[in-house]
Amino acid sequence: MKDNGSIEMIRSYPSPNPNVVLHEILYWSEGLRVKGLLAKPKKEGQYEAMLYLRGGLQSIGMVRASRIAQFASQGLVVFAPYYRGNRGGEGRDEMAGEDRFDAVNSLEILKKYANVKEVHLFGFSRGGLMALWTAILRDDIKSVVTWAGVSDVTSMYMERVDMRRTLKRIIGGSPNKEQEKYDERNPLLKIDMINAPVLIIHGTEDENVSINQSYDLEHKLMDEKKKVETWYASGLTHHYPPDVNRKTVKALCEWMKTL
């Protein structure tokens, strides 16, 4: 078995930004070959590293080159795993099951390309789960940003009637019958293991991921006396308007760099 995070293949990937270079990387994670997208500023320099953890499931919410390049243009080396089972990667996307290690192991790629000891984490929607678990399972995390992030799969099951069938298929049943399997995916139960500062971003009118998930995360972090900051946006939904989105991306990247 190849070492976790070791690179099997690299290929150039079309970049939407002339100042950002993109590469698609095939790497090893727990015996599987998984793919992801790396973005770095074209100009040589010493940059901080950020792991971008996408939302969605399988092909829905897939990593977009323009989004990764947007973060890299703020002066970051960014890697975004597709998660196992996607775009030719081996295995099966499991909604923060064993696939959480695709995030955990991909830190080795970022640390190599950015030559850093610690990595910032960014998770959007379902990626919030992945970011929290990565911060729980690794001790080389500089910060965690969760934007409209899921923090509890059981709450997600209750909130999203349209996703219940999919979650039952992936996880193996409903929380009523398989609560242990849902608890295994619940980072709130191990929030004491997160040592990096956390920034929570969420729109109050989000219908995809209830802001209550962020409230629960905030309260858990506060109970454990962890460093947490919140940017709650009144009236905004799951996807911010383009101008607000750009300003928020810039602000959160600046927040990371102050740490």
Q: Which of 125, 143, 151, 214 is catalytic?
A: 125
Task: Name the pTM for this structure.
Answer: 0.96
**pLDDT above 80: residue 88:** yes
Task: At 197, list the tokens.
Answer: 């500062």
Contact in structure between 49 and 111 (CB atoms under 8 Å) = yes
> How confident is the model over 207-229, as a mean pLDDT?
98
Q: 3-state secondary structure string, 230-255? A: EEEECCCCCCCCHHHHHHHHHHHHHH
Q: Give me the CATH code for the 7-257 domain, please.
A: 3.40.50.1820
**pLDDT above 80: residue 58:** no
**pLDDT above 90: residue 57:** no
**pLDDT above 90: residue 256:** yes
Alpha carbons 176 and 158: distance in angstroms, whole number: 11
> How confident is the model over 50-71, as a mean pLDDT?
92
Q: Which of 6, 23, 174, 238 is catalytic?
A: 238
> How confident is the model over 93-117, as a mean pLDDT?
94
**pLDDT above 90: residue 137:** yes
Q: Check residue 239 and give its pLDDT.
A: 96
Q: Check residue 61 and give its pLDDT.
A: 86
Q: What is the DSSP letter of 193?
A: G
91: left (phi over 0), alpha (psi -120 to 50) or beta: left
> How confident is the model over 82-87, as a mean pLDDT?
94
**pLDDT above 80: residue 207:** yes
Question: In this predicted model, what pLDDT tens digit does every residue of 1-15 receive, in sequence order?
Answer: 689 999 999 999 999
Q: Check residue 59 and give its pLDDT.
A: 79
Helix, strand, coil content of the chain in percent (nearest 5):
40, 25, 35
Tokens 């991306």 found at: 249
239 is annotated as an active-site residue: no
> How confident is the model over 159-177, as a mean pLDDT?
93
143 is annotated as an active-site residue: no
